[in-house]
């Protein structure tokens, strides 16, 4: 191959190349469209001469907050859970990891969102191609979600997922897409030489198996990996980069720990990144002092807390919604998030350095009709997956996590509903092949035949040194994750501890259970769309990707589903016609003033004559500030990114709005004079939008 200069963007990347003494680098592998085959330039025999630290790593954070009011929230499928304000902003966190020797690079993005849908992935890749050409492609970009259930939805192009938002929300879709792209752009500009290492620790009091009946159906050899039914392993990828004095510092981490982001219940209507988001906040803002407003282009430290095989892992330790460790959902979010953060910090000193190449593969698989080879099935016989269908227990919801279910539907083998049983029997009579595939599932809705869900789905394998990430577009149970890891480890010839499952990756296909768990007819099995042998199909695909990566072989891209972007109908939910202040008031006027004095632990509350927050999502900024008077003037000490603040919005009459801002005075706050400011945007009847603001009277904070 003829060497050419590797085009990088950003001064940091150019400095990195100069520092490593590399004059020319081969270009990253690229693809020119659907159906293309991807070749790897990294080979195993290159790794022997590779030095630890021979990576370029860039980090980026960007705001992805959607419509914080009057938008259905994604996750619980509860029509009554409609956003009414903001607790903490949603963000995307990106890491670009490049191998200077081969020119290969991969991107890992974690967004504080319910899911990543194919609609989002396609839009992100299109924008990246416009900006970077063939640098970032289907093959090397991995987009993932924290799976918070406290964020607005309506950003899928498949109808099933927009039902609770009464249609498609273009503003929330664009917020997510543009924020993810911005995080990658910032990470690309931040590339610099780095050492990568991997650490692990045990976290035993932050998750519990919410589907133990199904878990217990698995073979003893599988269950032995998870005493008590929980996956307690916390894994952290550490990024250390050089300082001017020659030392290295910890500049970023990606942590994987399996726990649902459902500490916030279906009763919560404030937008929040939930427990994963609190862990990110604790490390970035509380421990490292990141200012999300002032430091957006260079945060100094980035902490992603990603999901793994969390399909049956609940944070509600007492197996009731908002129950465990306490009965306060906000306190539970903070506690589980803090425990997740603490476990990642505990393992930092017990790490192993990563060395070796960077590589990636992706393939789209038609899960509605995949032939599964005997070596991947429990009975050693060939089987086939089938068109997507949801079972009756799906409508029951996850009772342990409060999942918006209907009371007439129950989980378990004896929980069937007679009406659903009749529908299921009729479908099976019409299609014996469907019965052979979906078998024990009482079908509630044949979502595949109705074209309501995605059936051609991406499976991705990313390699960073000797760490392998299996990108699966599903909620993977712990034993399903174990089997996926085993399949890839065997294919690439590595230890199972060097393989992780990255759930909620690149698209969404509901749950992924083992065949044994599927037969239990719990919520997770009923939500395993493609039948009893869906997991073996994913294992087969992941193993084939691993073998191709091991041998340096090309992988056919496969066939994607059609583009549905032009067929989306905007939701009227949250539409703003015009804003008007209450009679006799102006926008920004204080309707309810704070008290004169507060102590740490008390809550300050101010109500303003506001406007609809969806007029402007204030990306990169804030709807509010808490300010302290100093000798130099008023200084911002908190905003809507902080745990201590909340914004509550409600309609007042026809077009008027009340915006209430609360601030929980922290224990360590400095005594003095304070004020709260509100920033909004009002729409006229002609459609013009203007900025508005309000300032509370000054109040005092005194010591205890």
Residue positions annotated with a catalytic role: 314
Residues 140/103, Cβ–Cβ less than 8 Å: no
Picking from 82, 79, 56, 83, the residue whose alpha carbon sits closest to that of residue 68 is 83
Picking from 635, 641, 644, 640, the residue whose alpha carbon sits closest to that of residue 672 is 635
C-alpha of 242 from chain center: 29
Cα distance between residue 31 and residue 414, in whole Å: 50
Element (H, E) at 85: strand 82-86
Q: Write the CB contacts of 143 (distance below 8 Å, at least 6 apart in sequence).
A: 109, 111, 116, 120, 121, 124, 180, 505, 506
Picking from 615, 643, 629, 620, the residue whose alpha carbon sits closest to that of residue 677 is 629
CA-based R_g, the chain, Å: 25
* Residue 326 burial (C-beta neighbours within 10 Å; 0-12, 13-18, 19+): middle
Residues 584/391, Cβ–Cβ less than 8 Å: no
Collapse the DSSP code of 2 into the 3-class scheme (helix H, G, I; strand E, B; otherwise coil) and give the result.
coil
Cα distance between residue 534 and residue 377, in whole Å: 10
Element (H, E) at 393: helix 392-396
Tell me how crowded residue 598 is: count the other CB atoms within 10 A of its CB. 19
Q: DSSP strand E in 160-247: where?
A: 192-202, 208-209, 233-242
Cα distance between residue 161 and residue 152, in whole Å: 11
């Amino acid at each position: 191959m003829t060497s050419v200069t590797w085009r990088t963007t950003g001064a940091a990347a150019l400095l990195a190349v100069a520092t490593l003494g590399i004059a020319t680098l081969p270009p990253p592998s690229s693809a020119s469209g659907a159906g293309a085959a991807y070749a790897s330039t990294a080979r195993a025999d290159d790794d022997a001469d590779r030095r630890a630290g021979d990576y370029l790593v860039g980090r980026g954070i960007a705001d992805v907050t959607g419509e914080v009011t009057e938008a259905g929230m994604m996750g619980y499928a509860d029509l009554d859970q409609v956003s009414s304000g903001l607790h903490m902003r949603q963000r995307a966190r990106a890491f670009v990891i490049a191998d200077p020797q081969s020119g290969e690079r991969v991107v890992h993005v974690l967004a504080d969102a319910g899911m990543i849908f194919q609609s989002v992935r396609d839009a992100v890749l299109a924008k990246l191609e416009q900006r970077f050409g063939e640098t970032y492609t289907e093959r090397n970009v991995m987009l993932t979600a924290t799976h918070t259930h406290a964020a607005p939805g309506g950003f899928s192009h498949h109808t099933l997922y927009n039902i609770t938002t009464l249609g498609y929300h273009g503003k929330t879709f664009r917020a997510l897409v543009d924020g993810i792209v911005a995080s990658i752009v910032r990470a690309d500009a931040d590339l610099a030489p780095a050492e990568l290492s991997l650490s692990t620790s045990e976290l035993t009091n932050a998750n519990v198996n919410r589907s133990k009946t199904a878990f217990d159906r698995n073979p003893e050899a599988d269950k032995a990996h998870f005493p008590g039914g929980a996956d307690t392993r916390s894994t952290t990828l550490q990024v250390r980069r050089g300082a001017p004095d020659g030392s290295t510092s910890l500049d970023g981490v990606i942590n994987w720990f399996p726990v649902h982001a459902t500490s916030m219940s279906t009763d919560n209507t404030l937008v929040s990144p939930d427990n994963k988001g609190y862990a990110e906040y604790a490390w970035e803002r509380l421990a490292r002092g990141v200012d999300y407003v002032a430091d957006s282009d260079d945060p100094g430290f980035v902490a992603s807390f990603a999901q793994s095989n969390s399909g049956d892992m609940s944070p509600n330790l007492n197996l009731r919604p908002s129950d465990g460790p306490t009965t306060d959902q906000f306190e539970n979010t903070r506690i589980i998030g803090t425990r997740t953060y603490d476990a990642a910090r505990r393992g930092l000193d017990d790490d192993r350095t990563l060395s070796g190449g960077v590589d990636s593969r992706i393939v789209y698989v038609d899960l509605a009709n995949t032939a599964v080879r005997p070596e991947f099935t429990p009975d050693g016989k060939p089987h086939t997956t089938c068109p997507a269908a949801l079972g009756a227990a799906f409508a029951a919801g996850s009772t342990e996590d409060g999942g918006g279910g209907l009371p007439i539907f129950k989980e378990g083998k004896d929980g069937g509903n007679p009406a659903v049983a009749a529908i299921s029997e009729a479908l099976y009579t019409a299609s014996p092949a469907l019965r052979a595939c979906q078998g024990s599932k009482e079908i509630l809705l044949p979502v595949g035949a109705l074209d309501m869900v995605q059936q051609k789905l991406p499976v991705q394998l990313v390699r960073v040194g000797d760490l392998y990430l299996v990108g699966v577009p599903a909620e993977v149970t712990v034993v399903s994750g174990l089997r996926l890891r085993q399949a890839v480890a065997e294919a690439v010839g590595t230890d199972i501890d060097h393989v992780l499952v990255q759930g909620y990756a690149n698209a969404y296909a509901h749950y992924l259970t083992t065949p044994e768990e599927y037969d239990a007819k719990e919520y997770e099995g009923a939500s395993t769309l493609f039948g009893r042998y869906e997991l073996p199909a994913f294992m087969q695909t992941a193993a084939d990707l691993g073998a191709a990566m091991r041998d340096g072989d090309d992988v056919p891209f496969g066939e994607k589903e059609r583009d549905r972007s032009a067929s989306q109908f905007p939701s009227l939910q949250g539409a703003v016609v015009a804003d008007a202040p209450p009679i006799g008031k102006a926008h920004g006027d204080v309707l309810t003033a704070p008290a004169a004095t507060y102590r740490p632990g008390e809550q300050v509350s101010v109500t303003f004559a506001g406007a609809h927050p969806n007029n402007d999502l204030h990306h990169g900024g804030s709807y509010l500030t808490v300010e302290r008077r100093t000798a130099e003037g008023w200084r911002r000490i908190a905003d809507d990114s902080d745990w201590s603040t909340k914004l509550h919005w409600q309609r007042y009459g026809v077009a008027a709005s009340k915006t209430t801002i609360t601030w929980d005075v922290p224990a360590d706050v400095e005594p003095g004079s304070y004020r709260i400011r509100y920033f909004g945007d009002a729409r006229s009847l002609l459609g013009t939008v203007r900025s508005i603001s309000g300032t509370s009277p000054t109040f005092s904070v005194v010591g205890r």
